[in-house]
Amino acid sequence: MSIDPRLRDLLKVLELEPLEMDLFRGESRDIGSPQVFGGQVLGQALVAAYKTIGEGRGDCHSLHAYFLRRGDFEAPIVYQVDRSRDGHSFTTRHVTAIQHGEQIFRLAASFQTPESGLEHADAMPNVPAPELLSPYRPEQDPLLETLPEPVRRMLSHSRPFEFRPVQTPQLINPQPTAAVKQVWFRAVDRVPSDESWLHRCLLAYVSDYNLLDTALRPHAVPIINLQMASIDHAMWIHRPFRVDDWLLYAVDSPSASGGRGLCRGSIYTREGLLIASTAQEGLMRVRA
């Protein structure tokens, strides 16, 4: 099956090499950022956890992660999995990512066997359908040429997901606005698998996009004047989904202080079903 090379490469990045029992190695990609993209480490760590889950143990329903040090995309990352608990309904794994002999990331993930129960969910915001919106292509913005080369490279990097923002992006020419935004997204091509674990790992990867910069929207600080990095990341997965169908990421930022911003996200199908929730605090330090 022929698929878009950007998606094919991401799937290759998620194919970890087994080194020993509960020990895996992953390669990285340079997307133009100063360090390894946090979503890549998040996705690979979740893949490592899944590789130690026996058949019939269910799917990941929640994860909590800390980014401890910058990742070096020139070197491999080793993922060590601790099989913390195999219960009747729930399974818990802790994953440590190691590079150059130091911990750079830690993940706790919980898995649950399927069961039925009470259900309710928040309604999706009333936004235009993705077909009515234009794809976000910062490489076509004439203001891109006014930015430093490292920033241009990061913004113009070709991604394995397509994004269609409801609000005008604020990275290149920011104007003060509410700390709220909605973005439609989906994989650039059909994922060649129906297995839910793969779609959940891909969602972990893409969930790191469009969160932290929401906390910048009220402040209108140019990206070249900022040092930004994820500090921690949490995700709760409520219902099945596919990442190659349109999903809406509705994000708000209730607070920023102490050089940090807090952001929350809700992810919906285009039919309005809430499939996941996220939260992230990140460094957003203004350079002198």
State the catalytic residues. 208, 230, 280
d(CA 278, CA 259): 20
d(CA 91, CA 84): 8
Question: What's the number of CA atoms in the CB half-sphere (13 Å) around residue 8?
Answer: 5
Q: Which of 282, 236, 17, 14 is nearest to 110 (CA)?
A: 236
d(CA 197, CA 150): 34
Question: What's the number of CA atoms in the CB half-sphere (13 Å) around residue 186?
Answer: 17
d(CA 282, CA 288): 19
CB 110 within 8 A of CB 95: no
State how far the alpha carbon of 216 is from the alpha carbons of 32, 155, 253, in Å: 20, 16, 9
CB 96 within 8 A of CB 48: no
d(CA 162, CA 2): 18
Which residues are CB-contacts of 287 (< 8 A; sequence separation ≥ 6)? 225, 226, 227
Which residues are CB-contacts of 247 (< 8 A; sequence separation ≥ 6)? 184, 185, 186, 241, 267, 268, 269, 270, 275
Structure tokens at 286: 């203004």
CB 22 within 8 A of CB 82: yes
